[in-house]
Amino acid sequence: MIQQEYDRYTTQDQLVWKVLFDRQTALLHKRAASAFGRGLTAAGFTRQGIPHFDQTSERLFRATGWQLVPVAGLLDAPTFFGLLAARRFPATTWIRSMAQFDFIEQPDLFHGVFGHVPLLMDQAFADFLHFLGHVAGLHLHDAAALEQLVRLYGFTVQFGLVQEQGQTRLYGAGLLSSSGEIHHCVADETTRRPFDLASALHTPYSEEHLQDQYFVLSSWEQLTESVADLAALLASGWQLNPTR
């Protein structure tokens, strides 16, 4: 855990935020889930400057009981899920360069804040993520179980889509924060499958490249149901077939 040294952001850093904010909000018009638009407003994010983590954290805590935690980079799975169980979301303090606008392999500030915080302003989504962290907390020393939890997190929180009023909408932070991922996701040739837990758990997951396929929730209720179902499977001793 570190501190956000706001005065160290350069003019270039602030410009990156502004350009990304403008581009993503334009791309997400009529494509993002309704909770994202509400959350973006509730978080107080604007094109005018990189958000202050302490101010964002205060708004988030008032809305759903969560807090934003500045970190230097990627965390291991036990540490990451442990933070979720405590209703604390880690976000890196560095922001990408101009050359990384379309796609970035490592999560930066724009991904962590613009991509994740708006959905965390929604109580139902925030409770789902806390539930996921709680279930992971029961299996922190089980690498196989953590892999399954990472896949569920990846295909929902990071790259998930949902049906709203007959339309497919984006809600995963990896989609919301990446123009390259959005264009790839909505392309006619890209596979978008109805979400079911078994399929998601048997699909290899990586953030090092554009996703090969995406999963679409039929409703938001599927999120909590999926965690409850996975918790039951893990409690029964179930594990993925290692050959798949």
Q: Copy the structure tokens of residue 53.
A: 């983590």
| Predicted pLDDT of residue 104 | 73
140-158 burial, b if ≥16 CB within 10 A, otherwise e? beeeebbebbbbbbbbbbb
Give the tens place of pLDDT for each residue, 124-165.
999 999 999 999 999 988 999 999 999 999 999 999 999 999
CB atoms near residue 55 (< 10 Å):
12
Structural domains of the chain, with CATH: 9-235 (1.10.800.10)
pLDDT, averaged across the chain: 93
Q: Is the pLDDT of residue 239 over 80?
A: no
Whether 87 and 21 have beta carbons less than 8 Å apart is answered as: no
For 188, residues 6+ apart whose C-beta sits below 8 A from its C-beta are: none
Overall pTM > 0.85: yes
Give the tens place of pLDDT for each residue, 39-98.
999 999 999 999 999 999 999 999 999 999 999 988 999 999 999 999 999 999 999 988
Distance, in Å, from the CA atom of 240 to the CA atom of 244, rounded to the nearest integer, reads 8
Q: What's the average model confidence in pLDDT over 179-192?
A: 95
Identify the three-state secondary structure at position 37. Answer: helix
Residues in the chain: 244
4-35 burial, b if ≥16 CB within 10 A, otherwise e? beeeebeeebeebbeebbeebbebbeebbbeb
